[in-house]
Structure 1
Amino acid sequence: MKLLTLNTHSLEEKAMRVKQVEFVKAIAALDPDVIALQEVNQTFAADDMQEPSARPGVPFREDNHAYMLHQLMKQQGLRYEMVWLPVKTGYSRYDEGLAFFTKKKILEVRSTLLSQQDDYDDFRTRRSLEVKTEDGWFVNVHMGWWNDALEPFAGQWKKLAKALPQNEPVYVLGDFNADAQVRGEGYDLVRASGFFDLYEEAQAKDDGMTVVQEIDGWREGDHPKKMRIDHLFSSRPVAVASCRTVFNGINEPVISDHFGLMAIVNPVE
């Protein structure tokens, strides 16, 4: 099973239509089974498509990044199920959310409010997007920061960990805003909760760095120039053949301010 996560920075990127085509072309070659995307946006100004919305009061709009990717996938003969969840307002002009694409049928969809508040107009609001297939639960997150005085990472993770299924395989994918190189903060908290880092478990891997430049939320303070803040975690031990960054300008083009991360895993019997 191949798992891929990417913070797309969608619609904030220049030439996004070109990058959407490049993304789908790369997906055809990479052939992931589950794709988790963060910062999946649509503009307030775009036309309402009259499609069922995952959140009351937030219509599904024509420039929705997930929808546009899905249409391109269909044109290339790629068969994925898609679900998109709007979480909050982004940059004062977007509905910003999370998206999953899965090869296998989605059996159930749910979401957990991770932040203390549920204010759609506040950038600190955080939710998970959770889907179930025959392979288990897959959880998509875009977490807050460890030192946020109002909505710290620790509180969000504890709410999520409490809500996750205990008797089924769970994979948590996404932008954690938690650098694996920093001790005593978000990354260590996730590991201490019993989750396995698929990058660390991998037999073959690259440096794993998913952010190599300043980005929003990391423009001030003392932090490494290169960070591993996008992660793939499993609630159970798994055999990981490989884990590497994707869309890093080497094997695939750079299409976001983050690189993606992909792992090839097999459950341990």
Structure 2
Amino acid sequence: MSTSARHTAILAEITRHGKATVDGLAAHFGVTVQTIRRDLGQLSATGAVERIHGGAVPASGVQNIGYDDRRVLNRRAKAAIALRVAKDIPNGSSLFINIGTTTESVATALLHHQDLLVVTNSLNVANILARNPKCEVIVAGGTLRRTDGGLVGELTSDFLTQFKVDIAVVGVSALDQDGDLLDFDPQEVRVSRAILKQARHSYLVADATKFTRQAPVRITSLAQIDALYTDAAVSEGLFQKCQDWKTQVHRVRFPN
């Protein structure tokens, strides 16, 4: 089988089953795991699939990939982004932190900060920050989304309007070349908008995978965000827009 034909067949397998492992694909096609890793890397570069630990899933369009898979997707980059944004959060700050695997990494990076007040609609973020005795954690009410421990809905949005904080740290599902922040769940989008509205400063954390994904619901524009923290090489066009909007871009680099 030619490489092109194998790529087509691999994509069909991943689409059919919603996920495929490197070992499983290697056995199915009778090739080495190194060959499959190379195939998945090439398919990922075209935006056809998203790499996860040990395999791949379909590229996102109108449906998000599973939370556990997102946790391992680009994990080292998310940790590096989190450490960078934590440097710009002073002790004694009040924060909003929303749902997301990258924002969970930010919570971990804040475990040694002191005198923080954090309002969150993520049970995962709250559980992480509960390990910091110098951090007061307030959890929003709302409807529990069991898939990711998030609290969403009108009750959550209304709850957040009671606060005015120094910094909102938000993650998104996708960031397009127009500078639009995108997500999948309209209820979560309403919460994210409320978070941004009630913060004096806003920081977006987005690893490189968010620049190749698609999601159908618009949250806001980077024009309304004070700083973007990412490991991605931002395109020249988007970087120029950020300069026009006075949105700072902080790109983190880390050893492979």
TM-score class normalised by the smaller sequence = 0.3 to 0.5
TM-score (norm 2): 0.34
Q: Which has the larger radius of gyration?
A: 2
Identify, as 1 or 2, the structure richer in helix. 2
Identify, as 1 or 2, the structure richer in strand. 1
